[in-house]
Amino acid sequence: MIQVQDLRKSFGKIQALKEVSFTAADGEISGLLGPNGAGKTTTLRILYTVLQPDQGRAAIDGYDTVGQKLEAQRRVGALPDSHGLYPRLTARENIRYFGRLHGLPEQVLEQNIDHLVDLLEMHDIENRRTEGFSSGQRIKVAIARALIHQPKNVLLDEPTNGLDVMSTRAMRVFIRRLRDEGHCVLFSSHVMQEVSALCDRIIIINHGEVVACGSPEELIHSTGQSNLEDAFVSAIGSEEGLVRA
Amino acid sequence: MSAWQRITVVFWKEVTDNLRDRRSLFSALLSSLIGPVLMLVLIVLLGQTLYVSAREKPLVLAVSGAERAPQLMLFLEQNGVDLRLLASDPQTAVRNGLYEVVLVIPNGYQEAFSQGLPAPVQLVMDSSRQSASVSVNRARALVNAYNLQIGNMRLLARGISPTVTQPLAIQQLDMATPESKAGFFLNMMPYFIVLVVFLGGMYVIIDTTAGERERGSLEPLLINPVARWEFVVGKLMAAIPFAVLTIFITLVAFAIAFNFFPLQTYIGIHIRLSLRVLAEIFLISIPMIVLASALQMIIATFTRSFKEAQTYVAFLPLIPAIPGIGLALLPIKASMWMMLIPTFGQQLIINKLMVGEPISLSYGLVSAAATLVISLVLVFIAVRLYEQERVLFGPR
């Protein structure tokens, strides 16, 4: 479970987050929707502990991301906006490195890698050096290493960015599967269709503030629109920075 | 899982990764050979002119007005001088480098000589030309010897013992050892070793810091439950084997160059580097690796890209070069306070070890301790940098 209360964060004079609060529950897919620059990445970075909020607090399964950083880190698997790999290591070695940093015993680690290789269908690439991988192959490795320690909470920053149609479909199937296994999945996107197709709960964010929040039905109802995408536009006030399809 | 285990994981990943990087390996190997190769080239090019040729070849002495002093000419020829009669202007001949030194017998020579008055002779030379100094000294010594010989004969002819004019019997005891005579070349070696300390692990440090950020793997890495200081220590340690290997190869190359290359032909003496001295130099160098790596890490953390980091970090070894060059030109007496200055103390010690002078063990220990303490401060600064948020984004 992810809890965010009244997050504020500034970079110099730029106020990236003014007031962000929400909760993302286990066994649900929560989507952070907003135009570019709305504060989605900053929120996720605070959640996966590489940034500290100026005010407010974020917690992973009740562990504070600042005060109990290591505990929070053990319970979260994140695919950041930048997810570079080590080009001179094979896919398997890339994943193994992160597993070892989590302190997994070697036997458990290899089992987990095998499981993820199956799940993400990377048999053809697991023993190749990652130099020259396609973006679809890269993201598979990046997800596998983020989930190597079987975290309960999964954070994905624009996971389908730059993927082709097939890879995007595979990613959606994968995200649903994580939900069905009981994970708490929080992902960010500026693609309205993706959010409406996947999410059980949607947090709409703009200019560093949560402007609407709820299930798809609740959002349609509260904005008085006839479909979800019109509800998004109505909540944000403009279509700028969003993508419909 | 302990902090040490996590540091080991980071260390082994970086070592494996960089061993597969041709750039890291190639730079480590190539830089280790710069010093020995450059030194041999210098010895072959400079050694010949500075030491051997001037002493072994007969002195070439141009003489203007030789016909005025046939006795002097005979004396010179008997002492193995290759006389050349000069018809043109002596000053122009020296200025143009045609001759290193010209002996001028002026017009009044014969008249003064026959009357027993001091007969004028001139040695025309250019003191700014270092390579001519040996010839000039030899010519001066020969003319002085002739001067003394004639003077003694004149005294004897008057029934006076020549010892009357020699109240002092001057003897010179040359304390130079073969090693100290080759000092010019040996003085360059400490700096070459410091240079290699800086170059050996450079690529590993840049790759694991600026490189990690540039390829976008820093952010995912920092999400792992590992303290920042553990990352910094693991990455720093990964540079150490590369630097140690580089120093080792450098010393082996120096040992081969000194012990098997026919140096005697070029600088007239033989330099031996014993296994013991090599081992001592090796040990003295190790603490500097931590210093160099920590400095490089601090700089690389402030840069945007691998290339930019490379540009700045490459300037670092020029800092110890400043005292290093001073050491090559001026003989400095080592004292304890100098051991407190990292890289300078080590260069002094290596210098003393090479010329075979005794150096107290306490100097080595103080220098190692001072360097390690300053290194720890630098590592601490690097850790503080890694604890800041902006390490993710680099400078703006």
**Do residues B280 and B229 both lie within one domain?**
yes
ipTM reported for the complex, 2 dp: 0.94
Domain extent for B124: 59-171
B267-299 per-position pLDDT tens digit: 666 667 788 889 999 999 999 999 999 999 999
Q: Of B171, B187, B213, which residue sits at a domain end?
A: B171
Q: Which of B171, B196, B224 is the last residue of a domain?
A: B171
Chain A residues in contact with B217 by the CB 8 A cut-off are 82-86
Q: In this structure, are B266 and B313 located in the same domain?
A: yes
pLDDT digits 0-9 by tens, B103-118: 999 998 999 998 888 9
Where is B368: in which H helix or E strand? helix B361-387
For A25-110, list the strands marked E by DSSP. 28-33, 55-60, 63-64, 76-79
Cα-Cα-Cα-Cα dihedral sign, residues A150, A154, A158, A164 = positive
- Give the global pTM: 0.81
Q: Where are the alpha helices (DSSP H) in B261-316?
A: 264-267, 275-301, 306-313
- Tell whether B95 and B185 lie within a shared domain: no
In terms of C-beta distances under 8 Å and separation of at least 24 residues, what long-range contacts does B169-174 make, across chains too? none
Alpha-helix residue ranges (DSSP H) falling in A82-191: 91-101, 106-119, 135-146, 165-180
A207-216, B2-11, B305-314: least confident range: B305-314
Q: Do B225 and A80 touch (CB under 8 A)?
A: no
Q: Which of A149, A154, A142, A202 is nearest to A178 (CA)?
A: A154
Q: Which of B219, B387, B390 should be substituted to probe chain A, the one whose Cβ sees the most A Cβ atoms within 10 Å?
A: B219
Considering its fold, how many domains does chain B have in total?
A: 2
Taking CB atoms and an 8 Å cut-off, how many pairs form between chains A and B? 77
Structure tokens at B36: 């020995």
What residues in A contact B5, CB-CB < 8 Å?
103
Domain boundary among B109, B139, B171: B171
Q: Distance, in angstroms, between A28 CA and closest chain B CA? A: 23
pLDDT tens profile B144-161: 999 999 999 999 999 888
**Partner A contacted by B10 (CB < 8 A):** yes
Distance of CA B72 to the CA centre of its chain: 43
Please tell me which residue of chain B has the smallest CA distance to A52: B389
What is the tens place of the pLDDT at every residue in B150-207?
999 999 999 888 888 888 888 887 676 655 566 667 777 888 888 899 998 999 999 9
Residues B228, B360 within the same domain: yes
Burial track A133-151 (b if 16+ CB lie within 10 A, e otherwise): beeebbbbbbbbbbbbbeb
